[in-house]
Amino acid sequence: MAISDVQFFQGWKQVLGMCNLKPGEQVTILTSDDSNPQIASMARLAASDIGAVVSVLNLAPMNGEKAISRDKSGYIGKTPLEGNSAALACLKASDMVIDTIQLLFSKEQEEVLKTGARMLLAVEPPEVMMRMIPTPEDKARVLAAAKKIGAAKKMTVTSAAGTDFSCDIGQYPVLTQYGLADEPGRWDHWPSCFAATWPNEESAEGTIVIDEGDILLPFKMYAREPVTVTIEKGVIRDIKGGFDAEFMRKFMESFNDPRAYAMAHVGWGLHTRAHWTVLGLYNPEAQLGMDARSFAGNFLWSSGPNTEAGGDRDVPCHLDIPLRNCSLSLDGEAMTRNGEVVNADQR
């Protein structure tokens, strides 16, 4: 069901309040021709109602001639801010940026965040955003999980389907997403709720089995049959299976960049109001897939860039693959068991 402007306006006021937006702060809403107009308009009204000084910056779409789909998560890191010094200066002068075009993984996003501006990505359907509106409890679960990750040295993941994966951790920072850009220099995504990190370089080893019904992003489809992914020294070396395996291989090959096969962030979902089923209820182009990335107990692993963690792999190919029914441990302590969150601090 659609969300009314009144409901969405109130939701935006609630979220911006939790992002500590104050009267007089400079807010820039970044839009493009394909931005969701309800997201942009209600964000503008809510920020203005709080007393912020609001600007709307509209930039032309890009990458359409290079990407093989219209999904922005299918070709990441290259944005219309590249070479646009005036637009970049506007964002750097802002206290808060509301991003409706998806700057994630770009060097320009990192430049803006380094100024102390906080940035909130908002691209999911409004009804999804409202169902998963951030709460203090969501934040507490993510921060508790992040504390566990930050203290650990090794992550292991197993499943009845055949996953047997491990990696050392600690080289890279912990990624926390709880839907609020509530501190200077913080980026987040409404809606979201998971914790992750990146494996130490060349430490990821083992087998990941994508089972029937697991989710393949950015393809936005459920796996139809098992896919066996072999990882050696932090790199995907083999992808075996039927149609889904071939689809993955061909997509990654299309970028002609060996960095696409590097393991990226690994972690688990913690959102109690996200659902595995949602992906199948929407036109794929209507959503980014944050239910899939965030539903509680998933093992979310990815491939490709690590610029978000301070690395230099800026490859535009990025896969996010949430698996069900996995058991994830940190230094032998269970965080999830058979796809269920088990650590009491995360509940």
Q: What is the pTM of this model?
A: 0.94
Angstrom distance (rounded) from CA 282 to CA 268: 23
Q: Pick the last residue of a domain from 123, 143, 174.
A: 123
The whole-number pLDDT of residue 62 equals 66
Co-location of 139 and 100 in the same domain: no
The domain tally of the chain equals 2
- For residue 36, what pLDDT band results from cuts at 50, 70 and 90? very high
Co-location of 161 and 103 in the same domain: no
The whole-number pLDDT of residue 63 equals 58
Co-location of 100 and 12 in the same domain: yes
Co-location of 147 and 269 in the same domain: yes
The 10s digit of each residue's pLDDT in 267-326 is: 999 999 999 999 999 988 889 999 999 999 999 999 999 988 999 999 989 999 999 999
Long-range contacts of 45-48 (CB under 8 A, 24+ apart): 45/9, 45/12, 46/9, 46/12, 46/13, 46/16, 47/12, 47/16, 47/21, 47/96, 47/98
Co-location of 150 and 58 in the same domain: no
Q: Pick the last residue of a domain from 97, 123, 149.
A: 123
Q: Report, as an integer, the average pLDDT of 144-160.
A: 98
Co-location of 183 and 221 in the same domain: yes
Co-location of 115 and 136 in the same domain: no
Domain holding 99, by residue range, is 5-123
The whole-number pLDDT of residue 65 equals 61
Q: Pick the last residue of a domain from 71, 91, 123.
A: 123
The whole-number pLDDT of residue 74 equals 61
Q: Report, as an integer, the average pLDDT of 129-158.
A: 98
Q: What is the mean pLDDT of the chain?
A: 94
Co-location of 104 and 228 in the same domain: no
Co-location of 107 and 172 in the same domain: no
Of the two residues 71 and 329, the one the predictor is more confident about is: 329
The whole-number pLDDT of residue 61 equals 78
User: Half-sphere exposure of residue 3, counting CA atoms within 13 Å on the CB side?
Assistant: 23
The 10s digit of each residue's pLDDT in 95-126 is: 999 999 999 888 999 999 999 999 999 999 99
Residues in the chain: 347
The 10s digit of each residue's pLDDT in 229-255 is: 999 999 999 999 999 999 999 999 999
Q: What CATH code is carried by the domain that includes residue 52?
A: 3.40.50.2300
DSSP conformation class of 286? G
Co-location of 247 and 146 in the same domain: yes
Co-location of 40 and 83 in the same domain: yes
The whole-number pLDDT of residue 1 equals 67
Q: Report, as an integer, the average pLDDT of 252-259.
A: 96
Percent of the chain with pLDDT over 70: 94
Count CB neighbours of 79 within 10 A: 25
Co-location of 135 and 284 in the same domain: yes
Answer yes or no: are the C-beta atoms of 262 and 306 closer than 8 Å. Answer: yes
Angstrom distance (rounded) from CA 243 to CA 252: 14
pLDDT for 347 beyond 80: no
pLDDT for 76 beyond 90: no
Q: Report, as an integer, the average pLDDT of 175-188.
A: 98
